[in-house]
Structure 1
């Protein structure tokens, strides 16, 4: 995954429905072109007309966890997000947005694996997210669903990317209203993609050229 940062992120978050003020108490997270679970990602939380941007650990840390060992909870299946103990509490009351320019996905064809960089035709992607403060750390996870028809060739799962008119319902609606949005993304039909550099497989590689194959 990769994400934007700085003034571009600040300005685009300001265009979200109903947002009049954007705050980033610790500054916006630095630009990244290759992010893996347990690293820091931008998390947006909405309260009234204010959007707050914070860096959060990608991998949810529920309040009942005693340490951060074990597989990181970097995604939550939409089909069970309202019931599974790891996500149930956050789904009820702590829903936010993970924001990114695009994401990488690997396609396996026989013995060969090729990464692709997927992005919208314009703007940012806002993934339905949950957040927690277990272990006194802000952490987040993204909700996933079955892939849309146009993206199923690449992978059978897809993050729940929200349309602008869905964002307020996801963050501020009742659990029942939020759950009604859990379906294959309505914005994925506008996605474009290209082969990415296989060096993206090593998270220590973090530069813009990863988005295109050599």
Structure 2
């Protein structure tokens, strides 16, 4: 017999899977049933479960559009973006003077290993990427036009922004939010500055906030 915790975990996973599927694109209930069945949620009456869970998600603030014989559509999500310390990275992207090239500088927030613990910024990683028909192709980072997500202002985020999805060489996916123009940090070492000069990277000379 399943414990109450197992049941709750299953229900939570079921709701998250519905959100993930609707975040990709609008889907009819029959399509949701097939996809959820493939993901191991085949027990019971899936049609009733989907209807019930979507109702609960709406009660939680998710704006999910759905009318008879039409796909369910996630219009607005109130789900926060939760990132681990390893995922909290910054990617500065700037045009290079050489046509078809862009300069990438990636940094990450980290904590010191000894007391008193302090937040530090890791040493910047510099790389060059090509832009081919709108797709970003680099040794350390790749992306595509389909991974650029403009989002309008909402009650959760009171201003419009853009999200850029990237893929690392090991297949790890990352999500970056557009924040401001890339700037040269005075703490960067001479090696980074020399690479910026070598490729003619076009950055703002002001110090970032």
- TM score, norm. by length of structure 1: 0.23
- Which has more strand, going by share of residues? 1
- TM score, norm. by length of structure 2: 0.23
- Which has more helix, going by share of residues? 2
Structure having the higher Rg: 2
